[in-house]
Amino acid sequence: KNTESKDLLNTMLQSAALRRGVKSLDAISRSFTRSLSSKPVWATIDVDEMGKSPTPYAVSNLVGGEWKKAKSEILIPHPLDKTQHSIFSVPDTDISELEPYFKSMRKVPKSGVHNPLKNPHRYVDYGEISRLAGAALSDEKVAEYFANLIMNCVPKSKWQALGEVKVTADFLNNFAGDNVRRLAKSFGVPGDHYGQFSQGYRWPYGPVGLVTPFNFPLEIPVLQLMGALYMGNKPVLKPSEQVSVVMEQFVRLLIHCGMDPNDLDLLNCRGPVVEELIVKSPLRVTQFTGSSKVAEHLSRATNGKVKIEDAGFDWKVIGPDVAHVDYVAWQCDQDAYATIGQKCSAQSICFIHENWKSTNLLAKMKENAEARSLSDLTAGPTLTHTTKQILDHTNSVAAIEGAEILWGGKELENHSIPEIYGAVEPTAVFVPLEEMMKEDNFPLCSKELFAPFQVVTIYDDDSIDLVLDALEKISHHLTAALVSNDLEFQSRILSSTVNGTTYVGRRARTTG
């Protein structure tokens, strides 16, 4: 019997690989690094050639297990050089072309593709797919490929791009083996009389939607997509057009690792088109990550059948206990300007206790910000705001009485970034706390700008309540940092604030 069980398990694992004609799981592993070129064997775009051809690579849709084009396409401009060719094109899918997606979603029952009582072998299959995909992203050449692909779409430093790949690889490795199956662990509760027992299962929704953002083109969609697949849902993924090639290539990797291409659909289109699919197809829930404006619109359009991760205006309070000035300055710079400020957890406003005025904290923060450069992509384009929009906002905040630009506030020098994007230096504007709290000024100072921009203010022991009033008035509480080892001060701030995640201590940060 043990031999039969092992044979059955091997057959199940091999079946996942054989779907795409791969002769063995070992063959999949070897194929990750077989090629000496920068393009893995499963990849369809060479990152070194992006922007060099007048006929750019064309991203495909995936629906019903087949790669397909649309009647028209959207050209994605080179984000760093407007004189170069487009880096790729994506299908500009029209509402009239959605029927295959409707048909695909209608085939999926509410009980999902698998669940604890149906097709449970797929939990094991996805444990193996996850292992192979995690091994691929952990391979130096494949990690380099995805990091460069990310940087070509949404410019960020190599360290930030490789960090995104590593987080994704770690996630996949965490769910290798039996961990997908264990994720679906059930629970039981004894009844209140003989013969009664309550059993609970982790059940899929069935057909689901994912709408993902541009700023983390691999990490965010992969984590959300794999969670949906692990639990037996069939997702339709709509990535941001500006970066959709990243997820197209990752889906090709998943198929290479044994995933059935019928397990998910990939849709490239504009916002109104995916809204049509979300509202009129049998999608039972949609995960949306993006702006609060769109999130609120989708909430109304779907009558609440949407899970939301939207905007955050993220604060940092630096407490009265002064120490480790260099480290605090470095962390402030990372929080505000890493990934060119295009993180939903980026530091948006910094409250600094007056005790730090005797140090060179602000001078260090300025030095770090001014060391950022377009050459290593620690500074660069912002994809959702133009240069004019960012500078107009900067100047409006700086026009408040007593305010001043501490550093930045200017367009990047010697760049060829397209006009549809932003190109500004890392910027900070000081605003006096009392002026910031005025009714006419606070909405301006607390407006989230998805760019390398932050507001800085100073407070003292007598104005802590004013700081707490400011934190209370902020509308979107995603992450926050309380930089202090003073337990009494920590308690005072933490007991009066609320956030999705709050980092506390001398090394506190708002983001990774």
pLDDT in the model for residue 291:
86
Distance from the Cα of residue 469 to its chain's centroid: 30
Q: pLDDT tens-digit profile of 207-242?
A: 999 999 999 999 999 999 999 999 999 999 999 999
- Count helices and strands (H / E) in the chain: 18, 20
Q: pLDDT tens-digit profile of 313-354?
A: 999 999 999 999 999 999 999 999 999 999 989 999 999 999
Burial of residue 20 (number of CB atoms within 10 Å: 0-12, 13-18, 19+): middle
- Confidence class for position 292, pLDDT limits 50, 70, 90: confident
Cβ contacts of 461 within 8 Å, gap of 6 or more: 320
Q: Can you tell me the distance from the alpha carbon of 362 to that of 406, in angstroms, rounded to the nearest whole number? A: 9
Active site residue 344: yes
Four-CA torsion 268, 270, 272, 276, nearest 10 degrees: -10
Cβ pair 173, 134 in contact under 8 A: yes
Q: What integer is the mean pLDDT of 65-71?
A: 97
At residue 408, what is the residue type? G
Cβ pair 162, 219 in contact under 8 A: no
Is the per-residue pLDDT at 428 higher than 70?
Answer: yes
Active site residue 153: no
Q: Can you tell me the distance from the alpha carbon of 418 to that of 415, in angstroms, rounded to the nearest whole number? A: 9
DSSP H helices, 423-463, are 433-436, 442-445
Cβ pair 396, 370 in contact under 8 A: no
Q: Can you tell me the distance from the alpha carbon of 249 to that of 40, in angstroms, rounded to the nearest whole number? A: 10
The DSSP annotation for 286-330 comes to EEEES-HHHHHHHHHHTTT-EEEE----EEEEE-S----HHHHHH
Q: pLDDT tens-digit profile of 7-16?
A: 544 544 454 4
Specify whether the backbone of 451 is left (phi greater than 0), alpha (psi in -120 to 50) or beta: beta
Q: What integer is the mean pLDDT of 475-502?
A: 95
Specify whether the backbone of 112 is left (phi greater than 0), alpha (psi in -120 to 50) or beta: left
Question: Crossing angle of helices 158-174/140-153, nearest 10°?
Answer: 130
Cβ pair 265, 252 in contact under 8 A: no
Q: Which residue, chain included where needed, has tokens 């940087």? A: 151
Specify whether the backbone of 154 is left (phi greater than 0), alpha (psi in -120 to 50) or beta: beta
- Give me the percent of the chain exceeding a pLDDT of 70: 92
Cβ pair 131, 177 in contact under 8 A: yes
Q: pLDDT tens-digit profile of 25-59?
A: 444 444 444 434 569 999 999 999 999 999 999 99
Is the per-residue pLDDT at 358 higher than 60?
Answer: yes
| Annotated catalytic residue, options 153, 332, 344, 445 | 344
DSSP H helices, 54-157, are 99-106, 121-138, 140-153
Is the per-residue pLDDT at 19 higher than 90?
Answer: no
Q: What integer is the mean pLDDT of 128-153?
A: 97
The mean pLDDT of the chain is: 92
Burial of residue 14 (number of CB atoms within 10 Å: 0-12, 13-18, 19+): middle
Cβ pair 400, 445 in contact under 8 A: yes
| Annotated catalytic residue, options 144, 276, 309, 411 | 309
